[in-house]
Chain A
Amino acid sequence: MIVAERKSIPELLDMLPNNSKILVLGCGTCVTVCLAGGEREVSIISSALRIASKARGLGYEVSEFTIERQCDNVFIEQAIEAIEKVDVVLSLGCGAGVQAIAERFLKKPVYAGLNTKFLGILEERGVWTEKCSQCGSCVLHEYGGICPVTRCAKHLLNGPCGGSREDRCEVRPDRPCAWQLIYQRLKNIGELERLEKIEPPKKWSASLSGGPRVIIREDHRI
């Protein structure tokens, strides 16, 4: 899922115009699961904004609404009435959600209330970790299902670097060395011979360095 983190209240206050009607718009999918932009966070952020507004005399009129998915027009339809009543929208969706709302409402300022961080998983309660860099050409099968592009701090496809201490990464000692994990995993599944192969340079043109990516499925187009 997409993992995001809330912006601080002072950052939001800098962004939002004084004396305006603000809709705090939540998203019921990824950012709900990572506790950043779901219905509950909408309620908390709205409350904090109302407190800040009263304490500093900012003149906000804050309303709340959450839709199932901000990146999908079908669900955005449900928010039309709420969005039309306000001056600005503070979206608690991911970067894609914010842009989907902005594209749909041409004359309405839409601000991002979250910092979208990465594609990851819930590692343990309250801890999310990055697992995928969306490089566009997946090599996970070569590495026992552990991504060296994302989880090795040096993105080494032919690791390890030799700098790890015990099983810890030398760049981030609080994180495990991805290459230690890859070695263990390949050993466990009996595929250690994969490490004898030298991986050629990766095609980065499939990643974001080739510009914004588009997928077109002709069989689904109308």
Chain B
Amino acid sequence: MSSRDKETTIVAFCCIYCAYAAADLAGSMRLQYPSNVRIIRTPCTGRLEVEYFLRAFENGADGVLVAGCEEGSCHFKEGNLIAKRRVNYARKLLAESGLEADRLKMVNVSAAMARLFTEHVREMAETVQRLGPSPLNRAKTRAQQEIKP
């Protein structure tokens, strides 16, 4: 993990039936992935509302990853498809509000795809690194740097 990763936070909403299990498996397999990701277990990505994504950014996230089941494999039939539409709407709102839409992304993994999960997290970390800290956090980061001796 680079020093710039340490300055940023990625929130990952992970469905308990797939991505959360994949993250668990990644741990068992000792697969490395950026440690600035904060995983939130969700019953299904279809449970996530547009507000959840926006609130994550309001509360300091620099990137938000939504990880649901593969399309066609949702435990609740179409929860991940609902989430996909909501993520797309939230991306539009973020862009209108002055944040880069790429800071929010939805991916699909199965419970067995630990390696793919870590790749998605790494890609998200790279995106956030490329974009830099969220404009909402830049003021805070600057203030912290000024305090440092």
| CB neighbours of A48 from chain B (8 A) | 54, 93-94, 96-97
Q: Are A51 and B57 in contact (CB under 8 A)?
A: yes
Q: Are A51 and B54 in contact (CB under 8 A)?
A: yes
| CB neighbours of B94 from chain A (8 A) | 48, 51
Q: In the complex the two chains form, what is the Cα distance from A108 to B29 in whole Å?
A: 61
Asked if B55 is at the interface (CB within 8 A of a chain A CB), the reply is: yes
Asked if A55 is at the interface (CB within 8 A of a chain B CB), the reply is: yes
Given contacts A54-B135, A54-B136, A55-B135, contact A47 B96 (CB under 8 A): no
Asked if A140 is at the interface (CB within 8 A of a chain B CB), the reply is: no
Question: Residue among B50, B55, B93, B139 with the most chain A CB within 10 A?
Answer: B93
| CB neighbours of A50 from chain B (8 A) | 58
Given contacts A9-B93, A44-B93, contact A51 B51 (CB under 8 A): no
Q: Are A10 and B96 in contact (CB under 8 A)?
A: yes
Majority secondary structure, B binding face:
helix
Majority secondary structure, A binding face:
helix
Asked if B81 is at the interface (CB within 8 A of a chain A CB), the reply is: no
| CB neighbours of B51 from chain A (8 A) | 40, 43-44, 47
Asked if A56 is at the interface (CB within 8 A of a chain B CB), the reply is: yes
Q: Which residue of B lies closest to A43 (CB)?
A: B51
| CB neighbours of A52 from chain B (8 A) | 96-98
Question: Residue among B51, B54, B58, B97 with the most chain A CB within 10 A?
Answer: B97
| CB neighbours of A8 from chain B (8 A) | 96
Q: Are B55 and A47 in contact (CB under 8 A)?
A: yes
Q: In the complex the two chains form, what is the Cα distance from A10 to B98 in whole Å?
A: 9
Q: Are A44 and B96 in contact (CB under 8 A)?
A: no
Asked if B99 is at the interface (CB within 8 A of a chain A CB), the reply is: yes
Q: Are A9 and B54 in contact (CB under 8 A)?
A: no
Name B45-73 residues within 8 Å CB distance of A: 49-51, 54-55, 57-58
Task: Output the least CB separation between B127 and chain A (Å).
Answer: 17
Task: Tell me the A residues contacting B by CB distance below 8 Å.
Answer: 8-10, 40, 43-44, 47-52, 54-56
